[in-house]
Structure 1
């Protein structure tokens, strides 16, 4: 079925060394009319955030981005979009590295840490939407994946990075490319299935 659905792509990338939050900049861009497929990508965030304004550690080496989408779907459908994004991340981690993953709804992806013998957070997802069903409706899909970034000691029992699990640095550009390919497929399915 995926082969019959149109797969979209990133149409514009705004790449930054550092930003307070890719989500904040993407929101400003969405409000100013940037089209679907615009992506804000940063090497690090000084004020990365998750749900309920919780901070998300975003040191250099991770993959941090926000995509601007303009689906013609009610805001009530956003919870299922968050799960679709999680599925794209989990699939990419499994395909590329053989990780055992699971989604902790609504917005986290966990990876199995064999050394610690427990599940740990490897990705956070943040979905934000404009209010109402206006013509310029937008949805922001924020994703932060611990790839090569060093995690604070305070998070060692609850979070993990790809580098920690693999034992060496990986090419985060290739990871991002694979993740986006999986995301657009999931997004196409979401558009087709949610009424």
Structure 2
């Protein structure tokens, strides 16, 4: 397991892996072992990731997959809406950088307009899970974004990758840097506003 310090406001540690069953499951284990808030579990590929509906989340090499360990205050205004708010940040970041049409759903999906198919397709999903220990309440903020990964034919009717939309690969590192910077700005605002 490679660990590096990530130079962003509130990411305290990055645990970067080539392949993992699920960043969400690993993040839960790490929270129980005492990893600090702000730990980011990042993987190039997940083999057993699941979405909010319990269905497998397609997460092969080329996408961006991570889970962030957070301890938001217990305000009802922050925790339940965290997934939808993160989806909004993902949509805004994709639109700002790549000038594509996106929208976020209240459930935590991000949809992108596929002009060739003339319809909205899922490009990202957010899964927020609560983890309660004797001493702390955690939010596991899981994110999966189809960035450069190819999608199988069975998923192309409802899902799309950024590479399919803009016809070129993009830097996962630069995108993640921008996304997390935008997230921390919004997150600090949400948590301050909820107090």
Normalised TM-score (structure 1): 0.91
Answer whether contact 1:127 1:140 (CA < 8 A) is retained.
Answer: yes
Q: 1:50 maps to which residue?
A: 51
Query: Alignment partner of 1:148: what SS?
Result: coil
Are the aligned partners of 2:78 and 2:191 in contact in 1 as well (CA < 8 Å)?
no
Residue in structure 1 matched with residue 32 of structure 2 by the alignment: 31
1:115 aligns with 2:119: no
Q: 1:172 offset after TM fit, Å?
A: 1.1
Aligned Cα RMSD in Å? 1.6
**Under a length normalisation based on structure 2, what TM-score does the superposition of the two structures give?**
0.91
Q: Is the 8 A contact 1:73 1:194 kept in 2?
A: no
Where 2:79 maps in the other structure, the secondary structure is: helix
In the alignment, structure 2 segments of 5+ residues that lack a partner are: 1-7
Flag the structure with more relative contact order, 1 or 2, with Cα contacts below 8 A and sequence separation at least 6: 1
> 1:189: which partner in 2?
189
Partner of 2:154, secondary structure, is: helix
Query: CA separation of 1:76/1:28 partners in 2, compared to 1, >3 Å: closer, same or farther?
Result: farther
SS of corresponding position for 1:51? coil
Q: Distance in 2 between matches of 1:76 and 1:184?
A: 17
Cα distance in 2 for residues equivalent to 1:126 and 1:174: 22
Per the alignment, residue 176 of structure 1 pairs with: 176
1:20–1:47 CA contact under 8 A, matched in 2: yes
Q: Is the 8 A contact 1:35 1:70 kept in 2?
A: no
Report the 3-state secondary structure (helix = DSSP H, G, I; strand = E; otherwise coil) of the residue aligned with 1:53.
coil
Give the 4+ runs in structure 1 shifted more than 3 A. 74-77
Output one character per residue of 1:79-131: Cα deviation in whole Å (capped at 9) or x when no partner.
31111101110111011100111112211000011111100000010000124
Deviation at 1:76? 7.0
CA distance, structure 2, for counterparts of residue 11 and residue 70 of structure 1: 13
Count the aligned residue pairs.
Answer: 188
- Asked if 2 retains the 8 angstrom alpha-carbon contact of 1:48 and 1:58, the reply is yes
Deviation at 1:185, TM superposition (A): 1.1
Structure 1 residue ranges without an equivalent (≥5) = 1-6
- Specify the SS of the correspondent of 2:81: helix
1:66 aligns with 67
- In the alignment, what sits opposite 1:164? 164
Q: 1:98-137 alignment to 2 at 5 Å?
A: 98-131=99-132, 135-137=135-137
Query: Is the CA contact (8 Å cut-off) linking 1:92 and 1:178 kept in structure 2?
Result: yes
